[in-house]
Amino acid sequence: MLKKLQHQFLKQILGDKTANMQQRIVNQGELSNDFRVSIYTNAYRMRLKECIETDHEVLGIYLGDALFDQMVEGYISEFPSHHTSLRYFSERLPLFLTQNKPFNEHPIIAELANFERNLLAAFDAADHPVSSQNDLACMAPEHWPSLIFQPHPSIRLFTTDYNSVETWQALKQHINGEQVEIPAATNVKQSIWLLWRNQDRLTEFKSLSPIENEIIQYILNKKSFADICQMLAEFYPAEVLEQNILKHVNMLIDNQLVSLAQ
Amino acid sequence: MTSLTHIDVPKMNENFLGFGLGLRSQHYDYILSNQPTVDWFEILSENYMVDGGKPLYYLDAVAEQYPLVMHGVSMSIGSTDELNWSYLEKLKTLINRVKPRWISDHMCWTSANQINSHDLLPLPYTEDTIEHLVNRIKQVQDYLEQPILLENVSSYLTYRESNTTEWEFLNEITRQSGCLLLLDINNIYVSARNHGFDAKTFINEIDQTSVRQFHLAGHSDFGTHVIDTHDHDVCQSVWDLYDHALDRFGAVSTMIERDDNIPDFPELLAEMEHAKQIANIKGIFLDNHA
């Protein structure tokens, strides 16, 4: 009986009015049974809408109220929560936006949502120490070839076909009260962005050059420093190889992206 | 109302933590910079079931300076789904990190058919529900190796199946399962208004030994009904009910719970101080506990 009641109530909360929960409750006082049930059905949608608003503030500004509400209604109906934490409720929002009109007619929308999901993932990814220039200096030369850069757990790679990150930055500045021009959505050359959380627990992101992306791919695949140098040797002329290896290593260390492991 | 003197107050016990507040991310920096006089903080367990980053950094920093208790919203103890062992495993991991004075959740269900409503949904007050709850509470307590506190929720409807009162339902569950109560004074007020029962009767009928913690919070009053929004100050009617609850239960760890429209920290601290003043008048001081 309890199971049947819960399934019936949940059906009503999810929006199925044929669940008829009104018939299972007692008439009390001034409030109608319809109204009593609606308190729960409205609270469900309001709570999930607030969650999407919080996690996707910039996307909300980009869409405007009407489209945002349309997205929220569609997403809540199609993807009920299977998580115990609201933190993960909007995980499939980018997927929803690539599958449903009118949102999928403007692919930058899904990219914006995906970028915000990646920022959230970097925000509370696992902690791990990173190495400093001093750690690097202390490493014995014979250990360098077998050195493996261990990526910080917050590292995310994000590929864009549109100017979504530039748009996100402009909208964020706009939210913060700055006078900025929001760029028009443009199908640009594919870009790759690196997102991570630094040791001050601030989330950062930067665009990667093709060779920087290649280095990060090598690191994520646990390739050794010798492997990375070999790859770089095919990219840079011999006379500038060493200085470029140094430049790339400095980029990894100065941005607090890796720790050193044998 | 009975006027109590110091000696009438039930004896203080080691579980009286004093007066606390809900730990909210908006106040992390203020708390760590100013180290306000708060006896303890309550954390929302689910907010810290993450791998790392700011949430766990601030949690550890606050835990170094204040006693903590853990309060969850997703145990879904009344659900007819299987117990969510994955959730309980994460909860236990967090318990081992935080080492809270106790942990709590709600006497409700939140999920069915593996779908989470993210709401604290009411249960029918029946023998079958009591049996179902007692069985699950015992399993959870065995797994977590400690008694849990369960909070009375605000409700807006009464099921036709219910054949007893909420307070009798709660008493029977605490008696049979050994769990304790987190008595939310505001929720009693909200439900009393929505269902037309006497809030003081609720308090008078709850077993005195089962209450470990009080919540105080604000709500939205629409005249015909009241919604438990936690976005306002505690209203006078709830303060009056708190006064009455102190008469019945004595020194119970009390906190202000604010979840929305969250003000600056000093404003919440002032509300907590008000609760402390009401208790102090009745001879309830943290220093009294032996």
CATH number at residue B223: 3.20.20.150
What is the pLDDT confidence band of residue B100, given thresholds at 50, 70 and 90?
very high
CA distance A185 to chain B (A): 32
Pick one of 3.30.465.10, 1.10.645.10, 3.40.50.12660, 3.90.930.50 as the CATH number of A129-262.
3.90.930.50
The rounded distance, in Å, linking the Cα atoms of A236 and A92 is 41
Q: Could you tell me which of B121, B125, B103, B102 has the C-alpha nearest to residue B111?
A: B121
CB atoms within 10 A of CB B112: 24
The rounded distance, in Å, linking the Cα atoms of B20 and B40 is 5
pLDDT at A262: 67
pLDDT at B14: 78
Residues of chain A above pLDDT 90, percent: 91
Q: Which pTM does this prediction carry?
A: 0.92
Residues of chain A above pLDDT 70, percent: 100
Average pLDDT over residues B31-60: 97
Phi-psi sector, A252: left (phi>0), alpha (psi -120 to 50), beta: alpha
Residues of A in contact with B132 (CB under 8 A): 2
CB contacts under 8 A, A 147-176 vs B, are 153-154
Mutation target vs A (from B157, B163, B191, B195; most A CBs, 10 A cutoff): B157
Contact A82 B117 (CB under 8 A): no
Q: Could you tell me which of A124, A189, A110 has the C-alpha nearest to residue A156?
A: A124
CA distance A141 to chain B (A): 34
In single-letter form, the type of residue at position A88 comes to Y
Averaged pLDDT score across all residues of chain B: 93
CA distances from B183 to A203, B118, B171 (A): 39, 21, 12
**Domain parsing of chain A, residue ranges:** 129-262
Structural domain boundaries, residue B60 = 6-288
Residue B103 host element (H or E) = strand B103-106
Among chain A residues, the shortest Cα distance to B80 is held by: A3
Structure tokens at A155: 């590292």
Least confident of B101-115, B151-165, B215-229: B215-229
* B50 pLDDT more than 80: yes
What is the pLDDT confidence band of residue A200, given thresholds at 50, 70 and 90?
very high
Residue whose structure tokens are 């269900």: B109
ipTM of the complex model: 0.91
Number of domains in chain B: 1
Residues of B in contact with A44 (CB under 8 A): 117-119
pLDDT at A261: 83
Q: Does B159 touch chain A (CB under 8 A)?
A: yes
Peptide bond before residue A102 is cis, with ω within 30 degrees of 0: yes
What is the pLDDT confidence band of residue B232, given thresholds at 50, 70 and 90?
confident
Q: In the 8-state DSSP scheme, what is residue B231? A: -
Contacts 24+ apart (CB under 8 A), B236-239: B237/B189, B238/B185, B238/B186, B238/B189, B239/B274, B239/B278
The rounded distance, in Å, linking the Cα atoms of B18 and B37 is 11
Core vs surface per residue A15-48: b (16+ CB within 10 A) or e: eeeebebbebbeeeeebebeebbbbbbebbbebb
Task: Flag whether B249 is in a domain.
Answer: yes
Structure tokens at A78: 């199609």
* A93 pLDDT more than 90: yes
Mutation target vs A (from B47, B90, B117, B190; most A CBs, 10 A cutoff): B117
What is the pLDDT confidence band of residue B46, given thresholds at 50, 70 and 90?
very high
Q: Does A79 touch chain B (CB under 8 A)?
A: no
* B230 pLDDT more than 90: no
* A31 pLDDT more than 90: yes
pLDDT at B12: 56
* A104 pLDDT more than 80: yes
Residue B87 host element (H or E) = helix B85-98
Average pLDDT over residues A98-110: 97
What is the pLDDT confidence band of residue A59, given thresholds at 50, 70 and 90?
very high
Task: Flag whether B1 is in a domain.
Answer: no
Q: Could you tell me which of B280, B254, B290 has the C-alpha nearest to residue B21?
A: B254
